[in-house]
Structure 1
Amino acid sequence: MSLLKIYHYPDAVLAEMSEPIAVVDDEIRQLAADMAETMYAAPGVGLAAPQVGISRRLIVLDCGGEENPELIKAVNPEILERQGDSCEEEGCLSVPGYYAAVKRSSWVKVRYVDMDGQTVEREAEGLLAICFQHEIDHLDGKLFVDRLSSLKKGMFRKKYPKILEQQQEQL
């Protein structure tokens, strides 16, 4: 396994629509393993293939924390149903140092293909539901900041270069 480079806003790969994966083979399983290692090292709770420069429909998630880890590797994930409202603060490994409240569904039913090539349907709520929605957005070329109001997007665009500058000074 190896750590992969995480691409940051405004890199163009983050705005691309990802291609579906036809078959789960050893190359996809290795990519998923490398993505999981990269996500844990960052540290984060989710990572999508576009964030490591690959426009394919693959995400990895683990919202269980250290006490109850549950690594999910999902190929071609899609949301089948959604219910409820949530507005939680989100961050993103591709937008380091910036956090904002984002409106999402509080419950989702998702379908994806696992690393054995089996179709899985599952329900998710809370953090896991938010994480599925966030990572699937990446596959559609959207960042969480794209879901902000026009006013908040404008504030983000003004504030973010200063955040990056401060991070560079700390290195």
Structure 2
Amino acid sequence: MIREVLVYPNKLLRETSKDVTHFDAHLHTLLQDMYDTMICREGIGLAAIQIGVPLNVLIINLVNEDGAQLSENLYEIINPVIVEKDGLTIYQEGCLSVPGYYDEVERAAHIKLRYFDRNGEQHEEEFTDLMAIAVQHEMDHLKGRLFIEKLSYLKRKKFEKEWKKKQKAGK
């Protein structure tokens, strides 16, 4: 089922998510709804809080070389913890909860992530490039943070001004 994606400045986006304790049919339904919603909105990642569910659940499905998002490349990441990170990279990010706005954000270039899958199996994996960026972006959502908060003071002020103007125009 495709769900509504919460849009900034919705207060729920500020909520800190809680760990998943039951790896059951409810979780599997949530993961499917998140996937359907993300694909429908043409995103590459989605955190559960973005559809109003304050659980430490995120999904990422990068586009391959042919421009396709294959379901076998989907990562379902539950209760993630970054156990190591290093390097710095800058990437122009966007967000389904801040539609139409993109800006450069600095993040770790390499991360080691510990997480669970839909069946409660623990994994530890290393990510670089866009995958590392996407994981960090979605994990910020789980802590109630948006990528726009990583912008410089001046860029943030400019964003707020443009965003308010856009909201008033009804776009």
TM-score by length of 2: 0.93
Amino acid at match of 2:102: Y
Matching residue of 2:90: 87
Specify the alignment match of 2:118 in structure 1: 115
Name the residue aligned to 2:150: 147
Distance 2:170 2:63 in 1: 28
* Distance change (3 Å), C-alpha of 1:123 and 1:64: farther
1:4 aligns with 2:3: yes
Report the alpha carbon displacement of residue 163 of structure 1 after superposing the two structures with TM. 3.4
| Residue 136 (structure 1) aligned to one of 133, 136, 139 | 139
- The aligned amino acid for 1:132 is V
Superposed displacement of residue 83, structure 1: 1.1
SS at match of 1:112: strand
Instruction: Name the structure with the higher strand share.
Output: 2
- 1:20 to 2:23 alignment: no
Q: Which residue of 1 aligns with 2:56?
A: 57
Partner of 1:29: 28
**Other-structure match for 1:100:** 103
Cα distance, 1:71–1:138 mapped onto 2, change above 3 Å: same
- Per-residue deviation, 1:166: 5.7
How far apart in 1 are the matches of 2:107 and 2:87? 8
Q: Is the 8 A contact 1:51 1:94 kept in 2?
A: yes
Unaligned runs of 5+ in 1: none
Displacement of 1:11 after TM fit? 0.3
- In 2, the alpha carbon distance for the partners of 1:68 and 1:49 equals 19
How far apart are residue 151 of structure 1 and its match? 1.3
The match for 2:127 is 124
Provide structure 2 residue ranges, at least 5 long, that are not aligned to the other structure.
none
Deviations 1:98-155 (A, max 9, x none): 1110010111111111012100111111000000000000000000001111111111
Give the TM-score taking structure 1 as reference length.
0.93
Q: Which residue of 1 aligns with 2:80?
A: 77
Identity over the aligned pairs, expressed in percent? Answer: 37
Letter in structure 1 aligned against 2:101: Y
Deviations 1:63-99 (A, max 9, x none): 1434463101111111111111111100000000111
